[in-house]
Amino acid sequence: MRRVLFGFCLGWLGLGASAAELKIDLGQGAPQTYQTAQLIARQDLRTIDIPSDVAYKRSMHYRAIPLRALLNGIGPEDHLQFVASDGFAAEIPASLLLDERGSEAWLAVESPTQPWPALGPGKPSAGPFYIVWTHPQAAHIGQEQWPYQVASIRKLADVSQRFPAMRPDSALPADSPIRRGYAVFQRTCLACHTLNGSGDAKLGPDLNIPHNPTEYIRADLLRAYVRDPQSLRHWPEAKMPGFSRDSLSDQDLDDLLAYLRHMAGRKAAP
C-alpha cells in the first residue's frame, strides 16, 4: 500500500512527533485541527489490539480513538478522503466508517514518548496518525482503506461527481462487470493512480493515458503483476504492493480488468 496534499501539511515534519497535528474538514465551517497531546488526553482513547496490521504485517497494539467520534455531522451518504504525507489519498465512503455490521474504524495516535516501529530500514513509522480497523472482514475492508501517516481528513463529493472522465459508459446495465470493476478501481487503485488525468493521488502513473496497461501487458501477466508486482519485474524500489486474494478476490480482479479494458476505449485529455 502506498501511495496530494491540498494545502494541508504535517507540522511534525522536521519538528518531531510532539508537534504532530491532524486537520479534519467536514465542510461545516473552519477545519478542526487536533494536536497529538489533545488527542491522547481524550477520555475516549482506548488501547486496541490489531491482530493482522496492514502496515506492519503483524499483530500490533495502539492507543486509538473511535473515528466516528471525530466525524460529527457526517452521514452514510457522505464521502471522505484521507490524505497522507507521502501523497497517498484514500477514498472511503462514510457508510463504511459508520457501519454497524461489526467493523470499526479507529484513529491510532502515535505517542511522542512511545513511538511506533519504523516501517522498514530507513523508513519512518506509520505515525503520527493511522486509520486501523477492528474486525475488518465484517465489512470487507481492503488494505487501501488503512491509510497511515495521515495528515488530513476531509469530506468531498464522491468520485463519480468529482472525476467524470473516470466513469464508464452510462448505458451499461447496473450489474455489468465493468461497473463492478469501476467500484474495485475506486477501492484499490485510486489511492495511488489517476485515470484519464483525473484523480488526486500522485504516487503511481495514470492508468489510461497515454496507454492503458491492458493495451500492452498480456492478460495473464497483468493478473500476475497485480498479485505480485515483483513477479513480473523485480525492482527493489518498487512501491506497488501485491493484492492477495484476501484483499482482492479473483472475481474483483476480473471485474477490474474489464473496467480497464473498457476505459482503454474511452480515453480523455487530462
Domain membership of residue 209 as a residue range: 160-264
Question: Which of the listed residues 137, 156, 175 is the one where a domain comes to its end?
Answer: 156
Q: Which has the higher per-residue pLDDT, 269 or 47?
A: 47
* 3 band by pLDDT with thresholds 50, 70 and 90: very low
CB contact set of 135 (below 8 Å; sequence gap of 6+)? 102, 103, 104
Residues 178 and 240 occupy one common structural domain: yes
CB of 250 closer than 8 Å to CB of 265: no
What is d(CA 209, CA 165) in angstroms, rounded to the nearest whole number?
12
The number of distinct structural domains making up the chain is 2
Mean pLDDT taken over the chain: 87
What whole-number percentage of the chain has pLDDT above 90? 64
Q: What is the pLDDT of residue 238?
A: 66
Instruction: Tell whether 207 and 85 lie within a shared domain.
Output: no
Task: List, in sequence order, every residue forming a beta bridge with 155; answer none if it has no partner.
Answer: 80
Rounded to 5, what percent of the chain is helix, strand, coil? 25, 20, 55
Whether 19 shows a pLDDT value over 70: the answer reads no
In this structure, the answer to whether residues 149 and 181 fall within a common structural domain is no
pLDDT tens track for 173-200: 999 999 999 999 998 898 889 999 998 8
The reply to whether 173 falls in a domain is: yes
Considering the domain boundaries, does residue 9 fall inside one? no
pLDDT exceeds 60 at position 58: yes
Angle (nearest 5°) at CA 22 between 85 and 202? 25
Global pTM reads 0.78
Task: Summarize the confidence of residues 88-101 as an average pLDDT.
Answer: 85
Note the pLDDT tens digit of each residue in 112-162. 999 999 998 888 999 999 999 999 988 888 888 999 999 999 999 888 999
| Residue-level pLDDT at 236 | 67
CA neighbor of 233 nearest in space, from 221, 219, 247: 221
Find the angle CA(108)-CA(122)-CA(59) to the nearest 5 degrees.
40
- 148 & 21 share domain: yes
For the cut 90, the answer to whether the pLDDT of residue 9 exceeds it is no
**Residue 253's pLDDT band (boundaries 50, 70, 90)?**
very high
Is the residue at 255 inside a domain? yes
Q: How far apart are CA 1 and CA 142, in angstroms?
A: 10
